[in-house]
Amino acid sequence: MKIVVGLGNPGEQYKATRHNVGWMVVDRVADRAGWAGRGRTRDAASVVMGRFRGLDITLVKPLTYMNDSGSAVRKVLAREHAPLVDLLVVADDFSLPFGKLRFREGGSSGGHNGLKSIIDEMQTEQFSRLRVGIGDPGNDVVDHVLSAFAPNQRQRLDELLEAAADAVETWARDGTRKAANRWNAFDLRPADQDRVAPAGEVDGPPGGDGIRRTKTGWRRVKPPVEEP
């Protein structure tokens, strides 16, 4: 049984934030397996398990806040009698550019409180993790990780989650080293500049119905007024 833990914070206010990209990846795998909405709350986590594409997988989202993720991870491993080699932790990483994926078999927390909690609880750094790049925070790390993705990132977020879910499957099937060889060189496509609008402007050209998407919704484009 492979155990995949996605790190995040519970609560609607955190749902779409960069810090919750680990949850988003686990949710994407659950969607593929047809397990969406089937998670059961136990051991301070939402847990769903089953067989998917020939793989026995348990998907875990700790329901503690990020700083206490380790207690949920320890309880799940104990319940399933799972060795650390069968654990993958998926977490956001602001030291990686947005859209980069990076597998590691061990190492420090890199300043990530969720990883730090797991390391402290398990008393080891020797577990695999998939770090998902969320981009440079600038001067305010807390505001960055607890904010929603920027517009030019949101337009590619679905593709990033698909790639990360593929990467999780590769890990579950082939192990960390082969997954790293396959996915550590992954590059997300650049943003479509004609779909990224400056503040206050619309996002891209209108469709055939004269409606185009803006940052705040959908808007009908008024035809130009012809001069007499």
Indicate if 19 belongs to the active site.
Answer: yes
> Token digits for 88?
């993958």
**Where does the chain show beta strands of DSSP type E?**
2-6, 40-42, 45-52, 55-62, 87-93, 101-104, 128-133, 211-214, 217-220
How many other CB atoms sit within 10 Å of the CB of residue 88? Answer: 22
What are φ and ψ of residue 201, in 5° steps? -105, 170
DSSP code per residue over 8-50: ---SGGGTTBGGGHHHHHHHHHHHHHT-TT--EEETTEEEEEE
Instruction: Identify any residues that bridge with 56 across adjacent strands, giving them in sequence order.
Output: 51
Catalytic residue among 19, 81, 112, 144: 19
Report yes or no: 184 and 103 within 8 Å, Cβ to Cβ. Answer: yes
Instruction: Identify any residues that bridge with 94 across adjacent strands, giving them in sequence order.
Output: none
CA dist list (Å): 95 to 39, 102, 149: 31, 11, 16
| Catalytic residue positions, numbered | 19
